[in-house]
């Protein structure tokens, strides 16, 4: 992948994680932030889905030639963040609920009766199949992994199984996944299609077109503002909790439209820059490091924000202290990424062992 485009994807991914983080930070520690300006958390998850489809298509073509390599890489990616997120949630909730239970009482993001079935759902990524919405403690953002993991599986079935049996497995997958996950599959596949568009264009070795590409990027941003604040953004249904099939259809249409704009932005950026290097090496290195912790930032921030409010209730009344607390939570998530997300090589070794053991067992 071109360095320019790779860094741009890291930039979008990091900004999307920050968008979700700031959205929740307003609720817990920064109530003075104007809600309309930071109310983009759900759309940021749509960005994740598009980038995920793009990256998975890329690695399947360039790095993961067979199902074993693909399965091992996906397991390492998921569990390197999932296990850390679950551990952080348990610790943060234990502290927070004892410091000030009122922060959690009656809140939709918190499941006070977390039990064995919820842990199993998180560890198997079945927390969102059909109309289920299982939550472990206060880590509601984990819901998106219940979509992502199923999309990884669907893509793997489509790419690595040959013959008519592929379609049997795909139908079985659809039956297990249910309507929510199926409704947002096109959003994820937009990322796959975006990669294919860029790959086909790169094969012709075209010259960069800065003006045309810049206009596409600008138009995609303007289109999002119109879509979000004028057309459909106020009427969207949550991806994870539609109240009816109509809500599900409305939400899928809205977030798919957001995905089209994200895809246009990626294609426009590639059109504008081509092979010409535009990023300063220091900036690119710092951004890659930050993006390398963005998954942990996304999954671990809400339990830490809730626990911080519970332990320091006065912080939200003082903007400077609130900003300091949010900065410390942000730094904590990046530090936690060192235990999991930045140690994918370690988790990959374990995943390789599981895949190899499964192969030996099958014999």
Centroid of chain to Cα 246: 25
Residue range 354-358: mean pLDDT, rounded: 76
End-to-end alpha carbon distance in the chain: 37
Structural domain includes residue 139: yes
Q: What is the mean pLDDT of the chain?
A: 92
Please state the φ and ψ torsions of residue 338, each to the nearest 5 degrees. Answer: -70, -20
Angle at 59 between CA 58 and CA 61, to 5 degrees: 70
Q: Which helix (H) or strand (E) holds 196?
A: helix 185-203
Residues 233-280 have pLDDT tens digits of: 566 778 998 988 988 998 999 999 999 999 999 999 999 987 778 888
> How many distinct structural domains can be found in the chain?
1
Structural domain includes residue 135: yes
Distance CA 211, CA 253 (A): 30
Q: What is the pTM of this model?
A: 0.92
Structural domain includes residue 277: yes
Structural domain includes residue 110: yes
Structural domain includes residue 36: yes
Structural domain harbouring 114: 3-358
Residues 53-92 have pLDDT tens digits of: 999 999 999 888 889 999 999 999 999 999 999 999 999 9
Structural domain includes residue 363: no
Structural domain includes residue 111: yes
Structural domain includes residue 167: yes
What's the chain's length in residues? Answer: 363
Q: Are 51 and 12 in contact (CB under 8 A)?
A: yes
């Amino acid at each position: 992948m071109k360095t320019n485009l790779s860094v741009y994807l890291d930039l979008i991914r990091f900004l999307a994680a920050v968008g979700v983080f700031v959205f929740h930070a307003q609720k817990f520690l920064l109530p003075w932030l104007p809600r309309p300006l930071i109310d983009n958390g759900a759309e940021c998850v749509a960005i994740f889905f598009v980038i995920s489809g793009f990256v998975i298509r890329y690695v399947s073509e360039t790095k993961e030639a067979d199902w074993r390599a693909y399965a091992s890489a996906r397991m390492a990616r998921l569990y390197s963040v999932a296990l850390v997120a679950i551990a952080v949630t348990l610790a943060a909730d234990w502290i927070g609920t004892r410091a000030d239970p009122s922060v959690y009482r009656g809140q939709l993001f918190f499941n006070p009766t977390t039990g064995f079935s919820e842990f199993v759902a998180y560890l198997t990524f079945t927390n969102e199949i059909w109309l289920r919405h299982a939550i472990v403690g206060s880590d509601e953002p984990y819901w998106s992994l219940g979509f992502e993991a199923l999309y990884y599986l669907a893509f793997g079935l489509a790419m690595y199984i040959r013959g008519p049996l592929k379609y049997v497995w795909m139908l079985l997958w659809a039956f297990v996944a249910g309507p929510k996950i199926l409704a947002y599959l096109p959003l994820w596949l937009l990322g796959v299609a975006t990669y294919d568009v860029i790959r086909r264009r790169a094969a012709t070795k075209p010259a960069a077109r800065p003006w045309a590409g810049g206009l596409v990027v600008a138009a995609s941003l303007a289109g999002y503002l119109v879509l979000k604040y004028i057309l459909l953004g106020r009427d969207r249904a949550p991806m994870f909790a539609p109240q009816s099939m109509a809500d599900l259809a409305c939400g899928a249409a809205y977030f798919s439209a957001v995905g089209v704009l994200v895809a246009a932005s990626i294609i426009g950026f590639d059109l504008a820059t081509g092979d010409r290097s535009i990023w300063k090496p220091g900036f690119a290195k710092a951004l890659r490091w930050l993006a390398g912790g963005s998954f942990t930032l996304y999954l671990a921030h809400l339990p830490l924000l809730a626990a911080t409010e519970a332990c320091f209730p006065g912080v939200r009344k003082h903007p400077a202290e609130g900003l300091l607390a949010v900065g410390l939570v942000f730094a904590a998530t990046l530090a936690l990424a060192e235990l999991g997300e930045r140690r994918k090589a370690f988790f990959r070794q374990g995943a390789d062992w599981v895949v190899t053991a499964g192969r030996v067992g099958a014999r």
